[in-house]
Amino acid sequence: MLAHADRVFAAPQPAPRSDVEIYQMWEIFKAVNARVKAGGQVVNLLVGEPTLPPPQAAIAAAQLALSSGRQLGYTEALGMPALREGIATLYRRRHGLAIPASRIALTIGTSSGFMLAFLACFSAGDTVAVVEPSYPAYRGTLKALDLIPHRVGTDAATRFQVTPQMIEALPSHVKGIVVASPANPTGTMLSAAELQAVYEACRRRGLWLIVDELYHGVTYDRPADTVLAAGDEAIVINGFSKYWGMTGWRLGWLVLPERLVPRIEALHGSLQISAPTLSQLAGIAALDSDAELQARVLAYQRNRDALLTALPRFGITRFAPPDGAFYLYADIGDFSDDSVAFCKRMLEETGVVTAPGVDFDTRDGHRFIRFSFCMDASVVDEAIRRLEPWFKSLNRR
């Protein structure tokens, strides 16, 4: 027998679960960077990141905390009591709901909220339904945790949202479902009655229901309803990235059924200790900034309306008008069957950049693109000015 030291072992390989998809959006991003480097102009409708700074009160609170010289050490794993209370008050103010602060856990953006919720609800190898089109990191996070995403395809007929019938039709081995309202990339929302029906369908089927409500606050013709009004069993994911424009502050929260709270507390303590303390202090102050932030939502609404009027002039007629978020998901199937090539060509020929649908929908995304409209009105107007003649010059398939 060979002595241990003489044996040749194969080189260690990356784990299969780390083989998560790389977004095609990064391919487009590279093309954007190359264009900028070559001195070209880019009219950017690609990213979903508000361009304005956080609310003034949040910046002032962070400045005060820094200049006080205080330690800014870890917080409790579930987060600062004052911020958890503040978020409970937000639910009272927005929805008239009495959510106890004890059910709220602060996380490192919603991204960590997803990871913690998936870990608390599912075991390795479980299958979890994901409504598509949707934010691609749901699939990536599930895959990284050795969970299997099950595609629930939707289209314009249900405004790209799930129905109770789709939940009833899920295979019996599915353990939960991820839903978003308002959703990325479509901006469409589920009404209170629809959320109630989805909640009840999940209860009947014994499924965990995880609802991404990150775009609450960024809504147009009516405010967003929360699934929390339907009952205490759903898991809500939310955070400061979008309405409050605090993407890089990495602050989110979970609202949990009571029995998950100790699990999340233990998981967060082990995996991440706590959400960033400076951001939590800023978050407390940010909660009282509605007047400042509502003006931004009106600016997004103006951009949405400009796009809604322009798209039919482009020859794009199949889309669901967004109720919220700052995205419009458009069917460009009359022009192309390859959304990545289409976005690259659009960038090359007009300087306008949008996101290809393939990142959001693993089956039908090849014939959709996403317009983001959280940027200044002048950017959206310039994009429309360039795109109108361009679309008119294209051959229809």
Ligand X SMILES: Cc1ncc(COP(=O)(O)O)c(C=O)c1O
Interface positions with ligand X (CB under 6 A): 48, 109-111, 135, 180, 184, 212, 214, 239, 241, 247, 252
Q: Which amino acid is at 319?
A: F
Half-sphere exposure of 53 (CA within 13 A, CB side): 7
User: How many residues are given for the chain?
Assistant: 397
CB 355 to ligand X: min, Å = 11
> Min. distance of Cβ 215 from ligand X in angstroms?
7
Within 10 A of 262 (CB to CB), how many other CB atoms are there? 12
Distances (CA, A) of 195 to 130, 161, 210: 16, 10, 12
Give the shortest CB-32-to-ligand X separation in angstroms. 17
Nearest-Å Rg of the Cα atoms of the chain is 22
Angle at alpha carbon of residue 192, lines to 190 and 197, rounded to 5°: 80
68: exposed, middle or buried (Cβ count in 10 Å: 0-12, 13-18, 19+): exposed
Residue 359: how many CA atoms within 13 Å on its side-chain side?
23
Contact predicate 181/148, CB 8 Å? no
Shortest Å distance, C-beta 241 to ligand X: 4
CB nearer ligand X, residue 167 or residue 179? 179
Smallest gap, in angstroms, from Cβ of residue 6 to ligand X? 49
Q: How far is the CB of 148 from ligand X (least distance, A)?
A: 20
Residue 284's closest CA among 52, 56, 61? 61
Residue 267, CA atoms < 13 Å, CB-side half-sphere: 19
| Bridge partners, residue 331, by sequence | 368
- Smallest separation, CB 255 to ligand X (Å): 14
How far is Cα 368 from Cα 284, in angstroms, rounded to an integer?
39
Q: Which two tokens stand for residue 200?
A: 């009840």
Smallest distance from the beta carbon of 286 to ligand X, in angstroms?
14
